[in-house]
Structures are given as C-alpha cells and as structure tokens.
Amino acid sequence: MEYDVEPQEDGAAIREEIRSFLSSAPRPDGLRNYGPTPTDDDIPAGRTWHRYLADHGYACLHWPARHGGQDASVLRQAIFAEECARAGVPRQLVMTAIDLVGPILIHFGSDLQQRRYLEPIRLGEDVWTQLFSEPGAGSDLAGVRTRAERTPTGWLVNGQKLWSSAANSARYGLLLARTGTDTHRGLSMFVVPMATPGVTVRPVMQIDGESKFNEVFLDDIQLDHDALIGEAGQGWQLAMFTLGRERLTLGSQAVAMFKLHARMAQAARDRDLLDPVLARSLTRLWARMWLLRATWQRAVAHGDMASPAFSVLKLMTSETDRDLSDLATEVLGTDACANSDDNEFVHSMLVARAQTILGGTSEIQRNVLAERVLGLPKEPR
C-alpha cells in the first residue's frame, strides 16, 4: 500500500527523482539502514555508501552550495530522508557530522576550521560524535559540569560525557563544556580530536545487543586555542542552533512504522490472533500514524524549522513508535521471550523505548511545549 500524500505541487517530481536514484544506486556489501548512528561494523559500508551519495549530489543537501551542499529546500530534505527509509538505506554515514557539526562550523566556525573539517565531513571520511549529555545532565544541557579552563596554550578539559553516539568510531567530538559560572552564558563549544591523550571511550551495551552509544571520559586533556568554536560563552547559543535537525526526518520514522504495522498485522493473521481487541489496537495506531504523517507534511510544507509542530511531532512520534512496538508482546506471546535473537518485532520493541529518551525525553518535550509554546507557568525547580 502507498502512503504518499504530497505536501506541495513539486513533491511528486522530487520524490520520483530521488526514488529512481536510490533504486538504481549500487549498494556496498553489508549496508543496512542503521538509522542516524552506525555501529563500528557498519562504518566501512556506510562510508562507501556516503561517498556515493556525495559524488552524486545527495550528501549535505541542506548545506550552502559554496561548501558542497545543494541549498535544498526543507521539502527536498524531508523527502530524501523518507525515501531513504523506504529504500532501506541510511541517508548519511553519521547524522552528527552532517546535521549538527557541519551547520555549526558553517555559521560559527573560523575559516581554518571550515577548511579543515567540512570537506572530510561532506565526503564521509570523518566520523564525529556529540559530547553534550552527561550522567547528571542528560536532556538538561544547562546542567553541564564538564569544565574547560584557559591555559597559556589553549584549554584544559576535565569531565565525563554519556550517550555519545558513535564515539568509539569517531575521529572528532563536538564538546559542550563549562567555561564560566553563568548557567547559559558560561558554556562554550569545542572540537576535540578523539585521539587526544586523556580521552577514554567506553561503549555502552544496549538492550538490543548493539553498542551505538558510549561514555567518554576527559581527563586533563589539552586543546589548542583554535579548538574553540565561535566565542567563549557562546556554547548555549550554538547548542540551541543544533536542535531541530533530527525533527526533519520524522517522516522517515513514519515510513518505518507503517512497514512494521503491516508486518505485525500479517503476523497476527498468520498466528490466528487478529481478534477484535487486537484489531482495534492496530486500527487506532494506524490512525495515529496517519495523523502524525499529515502533521509532518504540513510542517514541512511551511518550511519553518522553528515551528512548534516539530516539537509536537518528536513527542508523539516517539510515543506512537513505542506503543506500536509494545504490541509485539500481544502478537508474539511467549515467543517474545524465546525468539528474541532473530525476531524483528522483539528488536523493535526493545529499541522503541529509547525513542522516548534520545533527542530530548518525553518529559522534557512536554515541559518545552507547556512553557514555550502554550505559555504555561514554569515547572518548580
């Protein structure tokens, strides 16, 4: 079944172009749709795939043309992400480098930083990791405690980061550290070569058996003066600048959910479990997914990345994905425990819970919507 409802007149032409390109693109051995973050084993195939995208103008779509991008519209970017999900391929080597680091360096980086880092990112040569979250400050970036102190030669950094995607494969890290006492204006952003003495990376084993996240220890690491991005105290502004890029790809999550929903309904039929109760649950989730897709299309059509619709979508998409995956227990029964190694439904059930945590927890998202969009009183802190 097709789920295409184009948000603009030119959407159909854009979709046909991208779909045709992806269907004919050669896929390197071992390539899979690993999402925004590859495992260590995904890197070789992912790098080859990314270079093919770059050579054909499909990498860094949102970057300015002067830096090798396409100055692509929000619509084009969103359709590309959605069609990659439909084709079962990643849209980049690592999301952090393309969607977070690149735009920050383009808007705030020095000429030296742009010359040094942007082209290897565009070509998929360098993996980057985001060193933002900490054990005591996950979604609350204002609570960052990692400290960077000025020295005669640059900066001395001490601290710990957690949930750093692809840090065990990364050549560089984008670090948010405290350089002053002010809650927001006391933060600064740095480039950290991950081979710097004093940097220790420990992979975190996830419940699904993969290790895409890591904890990173920074013990007396020395950074040069030119590691600072922008100005000291500008870190909060730069961190806020990165937010929202992942929201643009929520349509691709809808594609994955529709696919999972169809397979789950068929599995229930095959097991003779599609009774009225389960059918009602599947129907309600199908309706929620369609409503999310329609909301996403409207937000994309307006092209406003600051629209509160994207915050609503992040919250509701992650919770719909969780609820859909939780239905696996009703479809599989005891097989959910006995067949966990090779069953896609079980894997989805284990991973979907993380969707309500990564990129800002559901609790934080509700606070943001209540305080910044609805204008409700702030939560007592």
Catalytic residue ranges: 246
Cα(first)–Cα(last) distance of the chain, in Å?
A: 48
Q: How far is CA 64 from CA 72, 190, 368, in A?
A: 8, 23, 30
Q: 250-270 and 74-87 helices cross at what angle (nearest 10)?
A: 30
Q: Taking the mean position of all CA atoms in its chain, how far away is CA 277?
A: 34
Classified as helix, coil or strand, 130 is strand
- Tokens, residue 322: 């969780």
| Residues whose CB falls within 8 Å of the CB of residue 225, separated by 6 or more in sequence, listed in order | 153, 154, 155
Q: How far is CA 342 from CA 107, 208, 273, 345, in A?
A: 44, 11, 21, 9
Count Cβ neighbours within 10 Å for each residue of 197-214 and write b for 16 or more, e otherwise: eebebebeeeeeebebbb
Listed in sequence order, the DSSP H helices in 5-97 are 11-24, 43-55, 74-87, 95
Interatomic CA distance for residues 20 and 321, integer angstroms: 28
Residue type, 191: V
